[in-house]
Amino acid sequence: MKVLNNIQLQNYNSFNTKAIAMLFCEPETQEELSELLKTYSKEKKLVLGGGNNLFFTKDFDGLVIKPGMQEIKIVSEDDSSVIIEAGAGVEWDMMVEDCVSKGYAGLENLSLIPSSVGASPIQNIGAYGSEAKDTIILVKTVDLQTGEYIEFTNSECEFGYRNSIFKRTNRYIITSVVFKLSKSFTYKEKYIDLSRELTDIESPTIKQVRDAIVKIRTRKLPDTKTLPNAGSFFKNPILTEDEKNSLQKTVLDAPIYNIGDNKFKTSAAFLIEKAGFKGKRTGMVGTYEHHALVIVNYGTNNGKDISDFASEIQQEVLKQFDIKLEPEVWIY
Ligand code: EPU
């Protein structure tokens, strides 16, 4: 395990912004990670997954850790289900594709999400009516402060919408994730866009669901390789009943989803588009022409340009609809 000095992070974040890490290390096992944390106990630390959900606005004068655990193994299986453990460094969609090809159901709706396995529980990645929490049974971690191993069962992860104990506390480095997948599959309608794509198929297979999602995502979301971005930039706002009523007075056609507990979700993409920001560009930063929630980088190296543009959107949405958009992306 090598600890490197002064490493350029531009290729480690999907927005491609420049920043130097004073120290950088890619531990490949839980033991290496634990040893690293004990050796560098005083340094500031930042954990990087696939770098698909964060960007830098300045250099980092501490230790950047990129978990490199790459193993995927079957822990146990029976006639109806299979339990799989995957290392934090495994590329998310590679695992999804592998499971789909073997007929293991549960991850197909999360196809093509740019992520690493280790990042998936942190913000409980979700799409098309599924979330990572639906299949995760255990998360293995190392405590950033003590180097100790700690495991979290599904309920101990305290999952919420784009949230978990890992995101809230920023204290545990995920080394592997254990998923329980099913060997049988019946398509259930959960998301209108997906059902529309599958309308000609009577009972879609897992592979057909994955293919449909790959099609939708490719159509709606920009490829980070050609147009650097971090997927959805803001979370969909959760509103109280009063906030919902006042939004509906201002914007008659605002989409509202009742999520129970007297809480309502609206669409950040819709509000940003209504505020006049869809496809808008300021200098080298803009929103994607086919999806207002995705901020794209047209060529700046400076993360500050991106955070400035995001603030511009937040201010306008606040002014027009009295709703504060919260970033989904981490800004360093
Ligand atoms: N819409 C607009 N303008 C747009 C795009 C969308 O008004 O430019 C409205 C439409 O009414 C549409 C609604 O927004 O029906 C929802 O759009 P979409 O289906 O694309 O979903 P989203 O809420 O914008 C969420 C996730 C995505 C995930 C999709 C699909 C969040 C923050 N984002 O987006 O996740 O792929 O659902 O399930 O929850 C990500 O996290 O990076 C991400 C891409």
For helices 241-250 and 303-321, the axis angle rounded to 10 degrees is 80
The domain containing residue 138 runs over which residues?
A: 72-220
Number of domains in the chain: 3
- Kindly report, residue by residue over 205-235, the tens digit of the pLDDT: 999 999 999 999 999 999 999 999 999 999 9
Phi, psi of 279 (to 5 degrees): 75, 5
Q: Is the CB of 327 under 6 A from ligand 1?
A: no
Residues 174, 268 within the same domain: no
Residues 87, 212 within the same domain: yes
Ligand 1, atom 13, lies closest to the CA of 267
Residue ending a domain, among 65, 89, 111, is: 65
What does the pLDDT read at residue 111? 98
With CA atoms as reference, report the closest residue to 120 among 52, 221, 206, 207.
Answer: 52
Residues 83, 204 within the same domain: yes
What does the pLDDT read at residue 218? 95
Residues 26, 109 within the same domain: no
Residues 202, 157 within the same domain: yes
**CA 62: distance to chain centroid?**
24
Q: Is the CB of 236 under 6 A from ligand 1?
A: yes
Residue ending a domain, among 163, 187, 220, is: 220
Q: Rounded to the nearest whole angstrom, what is the distance from the C-alpha of residue 33 to the centroid of ligand 1?
A: 36
Mean confidence (pLDDT) of the chain: 96
Residue 90 vs residues 119, 125, 187, 328: alpha-carbon distances, Å: 10, 15, 27, 22
Residues 242, 281 within the same domain: yes
pLDDT band at 190 (very low <50, low <70, confident <90, very high): confident
Q: Rounded to the nearest whole angstrom, what is the distance from the C-alpha of residue 298 to the centroid of ligand 1?
A: 21
Residue ending a domain, among 167, 197, 220, is: 220
What does the pLDDT read at residue 1? 87
Q: Rounded to the nearest whole angstrom, what is the distance from the C-alpha of residue 16 to the centroid of ligand 1?
A: 23
Note whether 330 and 320 are within 8 A (CB). no
50 vs 315, higher pLDDT: 315
Residues 273, 167 within the same domain: no
Question: What HEC string does the chain produce?
Answer: CCEEEEEECHHHCCCCCCCEEEEEECCCCHHHHHHHHHHCCCCCEEECCCCCCEECCCCEEEEEECCCCCCEEEEEECCCEEEEEEECCCEHHHHHHHHHHCCCECCHHHCCCCCEHHHCCCCCCEECCEEHHHCEEEEEEEECCCCCEEEEECHHHCCECCECHHHHHCCEEEEEEEEEEECCCCCCCCCHHHHHHCCCCCCCCHHHHHHHHHHHHHHHCCCCCCCCEEEECECCCEEEHHHHHHHHHHCCCCCEEEEECCEEEECHHHHHHHCCCCCCEECCEEEECCEEEEEEECCCCCHHHHHHHHHHHHHHHHHHHCCCCCECCEEC
Which domain CATH number covers 82?
Answer: 3.30.465.10
Residues 109, 200 within the same domain: yes
Which domain CATH number covers 303?
Answer: 3.90.78.10
Ligand 1, atom 34, lies closest to the CA of 232
Residues 76, 215 within the same domain: yes
The number of the ligand 1 atom at minimal distance from the alpha carbon of 220 is 20
Residues 109, 137 within the same domain: yes
pLDDT band at 47 (very low <50, low <70, confident <90, very high): very high
Please list the active-site residues.
162, 232, 328
Q: Rounded to the nearest whole angstrom, what is the distance from the C-alpha of residue 255 to the centroid of ligand 1?
A: 11
pLDDT band at 197 (very low <50, low <70, confident <90, very high): very high
Residues 77, 214 within the same domain: yes
What does the pLDDT read at residue 148? 93
Separation CA 286–CA 282 (nearest Å)? 6
The number of the ligand 1 atom at minimal distance from the alpha carbon of 53 is 42
What does the pLDDT read at residue 276? 97
Burial of 227 (0-12, 13-18, 19+ CB in 10 A): middle
Retrieve residue 142's tokens.
Answer: 């190392």
Ligand 1, atom 29, lies closest to the CA of 127
Separation CA 179–CA 173 (nearest Å)? 18
- The amino acid at 312: E
Tally the residues of the chain: 332
- Kindly report, residue by residue over 259-317, the tens digit of the pLDDT: 999 999 999 999 999 999 999 999 999 999 999 999 999 999 999 999 999 999 999 99
Separation CA 200–CA 149 (nearest Å)? 49
Residues 83, 168 within the same domain: yes
The number of the ligand 1 atom at minimal distance from the alpha carbon of 287 is 8
- Kindly report, residue by residue over 53-62, the tens digit of the pLDDT: 999 999 999 9
Mean pLDDT, residues 126-135 taken together? 96
